[in-house]
Amino acid sequence: MRSTLIVPALVSLVASQLIELGDIANLDPVLVSAPLDVVQDTPPDVPAAPIEPITTPPSRVRRQLIQKRDGDCSPQPTGSGPVPSPDTVAAFQSFPTFQALATNAPTPDGYSLVFNNKDGSLSASNYMGLYTLTSYDTLECASKCDQADGCEAFNVYVERDPSVDPNKDRCSNPPSITNYKCTLWGAPVAVEEATNKGQYRDDFQVVIAGSNAYNKASPPNSVTGYNGPTALGGAINAPLNSKGQNTYLGYKFFPFSQSQGYDPQTCANACNLQTAYNSRHPALDGTYQTCVFFNAYVLSQNAIPQGLYCSLYNETWAPSYATNHGQYRGSDRYTVSRSYSYSLSNPPNPSTSTPKPCPSGPVIKNPSFEDGDNNPPTGWTVEADGATYGSTSPGSPNGGNTALAVQLYQRAPDQGTTSSFTLSQTMTTCPGQNYTIALDYRYDLRDADTTNKYCTFAIKYPYKNTFGSVTGQNNVPGETPGEWTFTASSFQSVSTSDKF
């Protein structure tokens, strides 16, 4: 029956977009059941029909189920579940163990329970395959669904199967075995579809108990600046890339206990922050790692979601690398769920982002103090603790016509240390390059008594924990007064503005 909607005024504008409810109600969905009494089943991949413009009314096709031929009494793989005693259909259907398995099974993270403890398995659309499990394991079936492209729902149930392949004449009703089954579905399922209650194989009755079904939760939101989400069957387990490089930048874990939910935006923030941090801490050549790809997933311990796990990479990896489906540590079981990847929409071009150009200009400003008798000398910072200084000429024969004369005073013992003088300057350096600072000095002793009278000097770089930190030192007690002496110290620059 076609219903007529009366919408005043706007009818002509919206009429063509109204859903024709009558036609939807009359659609004849193709429902299939997973095969009964098989160990594993992967239906052939039927490519989705290409999308064609609508020209004729759709034809309705029913899938033909092929009748199984009679068995040959061959033994079937042993089931993993207990067989109730007596070995009857009634005992199987009321067996408390199966009810308890279904009722107590954890709902895997990322799925919602559709029905619980039914006596029918699914007859639904888009059957994707069947696995026989060794236990009633909703987490494992969820992982199989995560790994199957397009899986939207799954069904775990207990099946009463014949121990040998029944034959009408020779073994028509053999003892039963109990199998745990897991079936995957490509479309959401409903309780009304728990209708496959079994079948007869000759005189043996295959029946179902403890049937639970779960629909997948909808994918997370997209994230500004990133492509995705791309659904993954597990956590990314990236090998070295084709150049033998490790593209994994590390991970951030956000425990749910800290009022942190499942929001991939959190991982995007971590990825962006990582890039910003790395850009402020570049390598010696000025390059740094950009986080261009992340994998966000829920890590659960013993089926209890623990937190959001973000792994960060400097390259993008395909879903085929999502091969980590969880692991055991001792008796604790860790599982991966709601695993999605996102990749930066506009990753920087590595060739243009790095390396940084080296600054040009003199490395040290006013190196020979030739800028006149300024106080302090141009370009330099001076700390004169009890010392006086001024420009003097001539300078060292190695360069420059001027020098800086510093007069240090010995203090009285009760005044502690002697006087000191420090010159410093921010240099114009190129990260990663090696530099040598050369210093000419001359020590003019004004006092005939040389005992306990000496100068110490050092060339220091403030990166004590960084590559390239060096200290040059020289004691000059016995130097001949008035002779120019030369010392030098090398360092490897870490920035464009190293200080010494």
| DSSP class per residue in 5-70 | ---TTTHHHHGGGS--HHHHHH-----EEPPSS-SEE-----PPPPP----SPPP---PPPPPPPP
**In this chain, which stretch among 190-198, 240-248, 323-331, 413-421 interacts with ligand NAG, using CB under 6 A?**
240-248
Using rule CB under 6 A, residue 316 touches ligand NAG: no
Q: Is 434 in the site for ligand NAG (CB under 6 A)?
A: yes
Minimum distance from residue 248 beta carbon to ligand NAG (Å) = 8
- Give the 3-state secondary structure of residue 343: strand
Residue whose CB is less far from ligand NAG, 297 or 461: 461
Nearer to ligand NAG, 103 or 245 (CB): 245
CB of 314 to ligand NAG, least distance (A): 4
Residue 421 CB contacts under 8 Å (≥ 6 apart), including other chains: 382, 383, 384, 385, 387, 389, 406, 408
Phi-psi region of 87 (alpha: psi -120 to 50; beta: other; left: phi over 0): beta
Among 93, 121, 126, 247, binds ligand NAG (CB under 6 A): 247
Nearest CB to ligand NAG, comparing residues 254 and 288:
288
Counting residues that bind ligand NAG (by CB under 6 A) gives: 10
Least CB distance to ligand NAG at residue 283 (A): 9
Q: Which is nearer to ligand NAG, 200 or 277 (CB)?
A: 277
Going from the C-alpha of 211 to that of each of 125, 315, 403, the distances in angstroms are 17, 43, 93
Instruction: Name which of 138 and 289 has its Cβ closer to ligand NAG.
Output: 289
Of 492, 494, 495, 500, which lies in the binding site for ligand NAG, with binding defined by CB under 6 A? 492
Of the listed pieces 114-122, 173-181, 244-252, 332-340, which binds ligand NAG according to CB under 6 A?
244-252
CA–CA distance, 133 with 215 (Å, rounded to integer): 19
Task: Please report, as residue ranges, which positions from 319 to 348 form the binding site for ligand NAG (by CB under 6 A).
Answer: none
Give me the residues paired with residue 253 across strands.
Answer: 309
Token match 């009278």: residue?
Answer: 453
Question: Minimum CB separation from ligand NAG for residue 210, in Å?
Answer: 49
How many whole angstroms separate alpha carbon 294 and alpha carbon 279? 18
Dihedral sign, Cα of residue 224, residue 228, residue 231, residue 232: negative
Q: Which is nearer to ligand NAG, 107 or 287 (CB)?
A: 287
Which of 275, 289, 324, 396 forms a contact with ligand NAG (CB under 6 A)? Answer: 289
**Interactions with ligand NAG, residue window 33-62 (CB under 6 A):** none
Q: Angle at the Cα of 434 (from 429 to 437), degrees rounded to 5?
A: 80
- Any contact of residue 246 with ligand NAG (CB under 6 A)? yes
Binding site for ligand NAG (CB under 6 A): 245-247, 289, 314-315, 350, 434, 468, 492
